[in-house]
């Protein structure tokens, strides 16, 4: 019996694979690995597929020194810079995304965290979206406090996003203005008020395979089941501008291994897939069952219409859209 088959059987028995097993699994023949991962996806998640669209409500001038990010004030890039947008601009985009078929709308802001005043503004905006648009709202507002997360939940946010980015041991190599523990604390604060959390990372930062496995283990320990996998798009002017872009095969290998490690998760192909020759389609038969669609933060994405067509052709059923507005 092959290593892939043996570990597949273990996952099917609802047993977690270990770090050592995951490292062995990662190097197995790609076709066998991805086929097994897709079978695990079908078994635990059926053919459900989740799409999230994102909107940048505040851009650039970030105080943090994340080496991959075009929005960091520590790097000189051509990113557009603007303060927090008005309610109307954010609500109107939510309406457009919903009309285009999106079930989920994630509002993203640059910076370590929003101020209390900005959080209050966003709560007003989110309340409007919930009243005027039938779309689920997610928020990516940085490292917030429990009090701020409670306000967002009361306003109608269903999920918050906070990427770990990489493994605990590699994190200091990509950012020193906040810590990996700061990330963990924010995730726990959001969880404490009843919010679900979306958290994953970026591949291609110079991390090792062990780092990729260790990030998955941390996510599993935190019981995170909404996991975005981003592929680094090296941006001129950032410290990682010369990093090599990962191949499609490497991305498929990462996603397949994550499916074995977190079999019930929504593994979301996110930033960077627009640079993949197949636009990431092969990943959706390698264990991925979710995507970020449309315009991304600092790179071009793939249109929602195109994604919806691909999902249908692959036999997926899109997660039901929220149809009822708040009265």
Give the tens place of pLDDT for each residue, 263-301. Answer: 999 999 999 988 899 989 999 999 999 999 876 554 556
Distance between CA atoms of residues 212 and 209, nearest Å: 5
pLDDT of 322 above 60: no
Give how many domains the chain has, as a whole number: 1
The answer to whether 307 and 290 are in contact (CB under 8 A) is no
Domain housing 310: 19-318
Contacts of 2 (CB under 8 A, 6+ apart): 28, 32
Q: Is 42 helix (H, G, I), strand (E, B) or coil?
A: helix
DSSP labels, 243-298: PPPPPHHHHHHHHHHHHHHSTTSEEEE-TTGGGSTTTTGGGGGTT--EEEEB--SS
For residue 198, tell me if it sits in a domain.
Answer: yes
Residue 6 in any domain: the answer is no
Contacts of 272 (CB under 8 A, 6+ apart): 202, 204, 230, 231, 232, 233, 245, 299
45 inside domain: yes
Cβ atoms of 144 and 119 within 8 Å: the answer is yes
| Chain centre to alpha carbon of residue 30 | 23
Residue 95 lies in a domain: yes
Residue 325 in any domain: the answer is: no
CATH code of the domain in which 200 resides? 3.20.20.70
Q: Is residue 247 in a domain?
A: yes
pTM: 0.94
Give the largest Cα separation in the chain, rounded: 59
Give the tens place of pLDDT for each residue, 184-193. Answer: 999 999 999 9
The answer to whether residues 135 and 322 touch, using CB atoms and an 8 Å cutoff, is: yes
pLDDT at site 69:
94
């Amino acid at each position: 019996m092959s290593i892939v088959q043996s570990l597949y059987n273990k996952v099917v028995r609802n047993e977690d694979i270990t770090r050592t097993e995951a490292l062995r699994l990662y190097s197995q023949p790609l076709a066998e690995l991805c086929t097994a991962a897709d079978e695990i996806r079908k078994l635990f998640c059926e053919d459900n597929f989740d799409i999230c669209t994102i909107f940048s409500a505040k851009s650039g001038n970030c105080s943090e020194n994340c080496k991959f990010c075009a929005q960091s004030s520590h790097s000189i890039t051509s990113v557009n810079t603007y303060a927090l947008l008005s309610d109307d601009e954010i609500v109107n985009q939510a309406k457009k995304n919903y009309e285009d078929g999106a079930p989920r709308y994630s509002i993203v802001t640059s910076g370590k965290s929003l101020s209390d005043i900005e959080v209050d503004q966003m709560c007003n905006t989110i309340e409007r979206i919930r009243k005027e648009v039938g779309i689920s709202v997610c928020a990516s507002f940085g490292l917030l406090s429990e009090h701020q997360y409670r306000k967002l939940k009361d306003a109608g946010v269903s999920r918050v996003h906070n990427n770990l980015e990489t493994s605990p041991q590699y994190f200091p190599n990509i950012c020193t203005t906040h810590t990996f523990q700061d990330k963990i604390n924010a995730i726990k604060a959001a969880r404490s008020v009843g919010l679900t959390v979306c958290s994953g990372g970026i591949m291609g930062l110079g991390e090792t395979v062990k780092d990729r496995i260790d990030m998955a283990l941390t996510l599993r320990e935190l019981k995170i089941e909404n996991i975005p996998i981003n592929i680094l798009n090296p941006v001129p002017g950032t410290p990682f501008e010369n990093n090599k872009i990962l191949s499609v095969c490497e991305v498929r290998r990462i996603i397949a291994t994550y499916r074995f490690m977190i079999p019930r998760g929504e593994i979301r192909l996110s930033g960077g897939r627009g640079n993949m020759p197949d636009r990431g389609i092969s990943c959706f038969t390698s264990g991925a069952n979710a995507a970020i669609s449309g315009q991304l933060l600092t790179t071009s994405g793939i249109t929602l219409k195109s994604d919806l067509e691909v999902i249908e052709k692959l036999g997926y059923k899109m997660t039901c859209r929220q149809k009822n507005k708040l009265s």
